[in-house]
A and B are shown apart, each in its own frame.
Chain A
Amino acid sequence: KQEVTQIPAALSVPEGENLVLNCSFTDSAIYNLQWFRQDPGKGLTSLLLIQSSQREQTSGRLNASLDKSSGRSTLYIAASQPGDSATYLCAVNYGGSQGNLIFGKGTKLSVKP
């Protein structure tokens, strides 16, 4: 069964810290992997998409890496800010039906000022 796991479920850090969110998946034959953020009561916002042929993607203070062989992806957030507080979701696309993203349950991040 294809599963996506995110650890930790919740994380609280002081403002300014660099942090890493983890995502692991059971089947390494992925098509792509996406990181999303979800604010309370809102929909999801796509942050980064990594194709299976890529090792990492960067956007501003965010860097996502992909290691298919170990079934892992990390989202690195540099110099965290209170506005980064949200739930971060990892989603894996195994191709075939490209609509069938398998989501992790997310990591709820709280950045304290």
Chain B
Amino acid sequence: GAGVSQSPSNKVTEKGKDVELRCDPISGHTALYWYRQSLGQGLEFLIYFQGNSAPDKSGLPSDRFSAERTGGSVSTLTIQRTQQEDSAVYLCASSFRGTSGRIGANVLTFGAGSRLTVL
């Protein structure tokens, strides 16, 4: 697609429910990233996928959080047993990897985000 698409744009859920957030990256981008932005806070890294390599999960805050990327394209971020502190905007980005001389290489393109509210 022309940009990074995220769905849903808004999600309100009750504490304890599971939620799934979807990200459709730019076609041809091998790298995909999930970040979280809480009110008044900076962006917090969650997880990173690059091609067929094992994902970097070092930013996931707890084992309630997981993500997968199917076929090297669409990614789903799953939050189980949601808590109120999970309320945030979840941002997805994609990029293509390349040398510094290649225009656009390593530049992240972000989606508009999924705003999650846990009541």
In the bound complex, CA of A101 to CA of B56 (Å) = 12
Closest chain B residue to A91 by CB distance?
A: B43
Q: Which A residues touch B48, using CB under 8 A?
A: 97-100
A42 within 8 A of B: yes
* CB–CB B108/A101 < 8 A: yes
Knowing A34-B108, A104-B42, the reply to whether A44 touches B91 (Cβ < 8 A) is: yes
Interface residues on B, range: 20 to 34
From B12-20, B68-76, B79-87, B110-118, give the one contacting chain A: B110-118
Q: Which B residues touch A4, using CB under 8 A?
A: 42
B residues neighboring A (CB under 8 Å): 4, 31, 33, 35, 41-43, 45, 47-50, 56, 58-59, 91, 93, 97, 100, 106-113
With A42-B112, A43-B110, A49-B106 given, can you name 15 additional A-B contacts, CB distance below 8 Å? A32-B100, A41-B112, A42-B113, A43-B112, A49-B107, A53-B100, A89-B43, A99-B45, A99-B50, A99-B56, A100-B58, A100-B59, A101-B43, A104-B42, A105-B41
